[in-house]
Amino acid sequence: MHLELADEAIEFGSQALRALGAAGGDDIVCAAEIEPANRSALVDPVLSRLGAWELAPRRDPVELEAAAALCRSAGYWATPYPVAERLARPDGADALVVVAGPQPAAAIGGLTLRIVAIDPAGQRGSVTALPARGTARETAFVTPIAVRPTGPDGLDDLALAVTLPCWTLLGMLDRALELARDHVLVREQFGRRLAEFQSVQFQLTDAEVERKGVEMLARYALWSIQAGRPDAVADALALRLAALEAADIVFRVAHQLHGALGFCDEAPLSWLSRHSLPLRRLPLGVTGTEDLLVRRIGTRGLAGLFSDPQGA
């Protein structure tokens, strides 16, 4: 079992982080909220120049790792574009979204892509976006969708389609903690920097432990896909569950340390937090993901990072 990303993948992620920052960084999501129809124009050219859509994560292990690193960089800037969904696309489509429940939705407002959906049972379907139920600011680009079933041939897609968005959420957790640390290093209370208070240090430590755990599980889920393990979907769901629980803690800590400022548009944390919600709520939240995972693994449990090495 090898859980470290290849050097090429790490470098690709770094290049994407710099390119998105140079293209506007935090300002991209602000501009996209004002003109949702311009989402593609703001992001697609930047990633196309990097060769993002030439990656073949389904066929090449290193390119899968590069795709994950790219998703993480996109999450860092709360990039208002379905990067993970495009990278997970099957042949004949531009993007792949996971749906569940009787009223499916996805953060695809303002896009003109050929999108297919897959549900937890592996049923594929073509997607038609329905009118949004609010402005981009209110919905974070989430819009109801209609799914027309096309066949039960998508179960192999599920692990990839669940895992890559978790890497996007991981990038958001990276940024949220970075913003929180920067904030407590410069803000003072009672004549001392916030970072000097032991309670603040404890909060940041707890949040970092959660973030680091998600990072390790994200690497494990990638390895599980690369190895073609039959438990890859269960590993992806376990990663999602851990990422959702960690996001609750990390964003709570970041907002507590920022105070009211963290909910103001002047603070990048506000935008980051708001645009993390589609990833955290769709297709299922913590309870729904936990239920789906339990029903998939039953009483046998997960193999996990520290199982019998013979099985790895």
Nearest-CA neighbor of 73 among 137, 136, 28? 28
CA angle 246, 119, 159 (to 5 degrees): 55
Structure-block tokens of residue 16:
């994407």
**Rounded distance between C-alpha atoms, residue 8 and residue 250, angstroms:** 29
Nearest-CA neighbor of 259 among 248, 249, 270? 270
**Rounded distance between C-alpha atoms, residue 116 and residue 99, angstroms:** 10
Cβ distance 109 to 80 under 8 Å?
A: no
| 104 belongs to a structural domain | no
Domain count, the chain: 1
How sure is the predictor about 307, in pLDDT bands with cuts at 50, 70 and 90?
low
**Rounded distance between C-alpha atoms, residue 312 and residue 309, angstroms:** 5
The Cβ of residue 30 has, within 10 Å, a number of other Cβ atoms equal to 16
The pLDDT assigned to 312 comes to: 41
Cβ distance 119 to 45 under 8 Å?
A: no
Mutual orientation of helices 155-186 and 232-258 as an angle, nearest 10°?
20
pLDDT exceeds cutoff 90 at 301: no
3-state secondary structure of 127: strand
| 136 belongs to a structural domain | no
| 23 belongs to a structural domain | no
Task: Name residue 125's beta-bridge partners.
Answer: 117, 149
Mean pLDDT of the chain: 91
Task: Name residue 148's beta-bridge partners.
Answer: 126
How many alpha carbons fall within 13 Å on the CB side of residue 257?
34
pTM: 0.93
Mean pLDDT of 4-32: 95
| 34 belongs to a structural domain | no
Q: State pLDDT tens for residues 57-99.
A: 999 999 999 999 999 999 999 999 999 999 999 988 999 999 9
How sure is the predictor about 192, in pLDDT bands with cuts at 50, 70 and 90?
confident
| 130 belongs to a structural domain | no
Q: Domain span at residue 251?
A: 157-311
**Rounded distance between C-alpha atoms, residue 248 and residue 72, angstroms:** 18
| 110 belongs to a structural domain | no
Using CA atoms, how far residue 145 sits from 99, 102, 174, 281, 282, in Å, is 9, 11, 30, 15, 12
Mean pLDDT of 106-129: 92
CATH of the domain at 242: 1.20.140.10
Mean pLDDT of 232-253: 96
pLDDT exceeds cutoff 60 at 168: yes
**Distance between start and end Cα atoms, the chain:** 6
| 258 belongs to a structural domain | yes
| 67 belongs to a structural domain | no
